[in-house]
A and B are shown apart, each in its own frame.
Chain A
């Protein structure tokens, strides 16, 4: 079974530029998550989708970050404009369900973003 796919793996941009990350979850997984992991810290949830609806985006900086999951499958996370403090690894994860049995999240390899 294929895992969570993410692209690109690395991205370097200058501040105030825009950037987009793509994620394709494990087939059949209804729940998709985006996390931000700053160096030396644990991942922090940015947004959670259930199918194509948003369940939780309370920690998403909505003035510059946006995410969508059209058709309830793959997802895109965008930052516009980027700031220096956005330098981090952006992780996508998916799970069969949001709660209860089969709620384990499976993570992709991440996209390492460097903002100069």
Chain B
């Protein structure tokens, strides 16, 4: 069974638009960790954020923000005022006993 589901396969926006990436996860554990990674065209996965299951506070880092809702098992990611450099594949991942990645969402930001 898929542990992490990323609803959107591809999203294309024009620069300065906001982009929201959906992530829904499934686990029976009460202690788990959620992550977002960015994979630019160069291929190297870049760590963006980690959240543990006991911390439902939303977080903002510059133009990036994350919304964690345990009640709906979702951990969504928003890029505000997107830029061309945000073009990449974004992965949501769940670590309950090992790290499982979603299939990824390809974000294309057009100038």
Interface residue ranges, A against B (CB under 8 Å): 33, 40-45, 48, 56, 89, 91, 93, 99, 103-110, 112
Contact = CB atoms under 8 A, between A and B. Distances in A.
Contacts of A42: 4, 91, 93, 100-104
Nearest to B44: A109
Contact of A109 (B33, B35, B42): B42
Given A42-B91, A42-B93, A42-B104, A105 B99 contact: yes
A42 B99 CA distance: 11
Contacts of A44: 101
7 contacts: A33-B99, A42-B91, A42-B104, A99-B95, A104-B35, A104-B50, A105-B47
B104 A110 contact: no
A109 B43 contact: yes
A44 to B, nearest CB: 7
B2 to A, nearest CB: 10
B50 A41 contact: no
Of the candidates B50, B98, B104, the one having the most CB atoms from chain A within 10 angstroms of its own CB is: B98
B33 A103 contact: yes
B84 interface: no
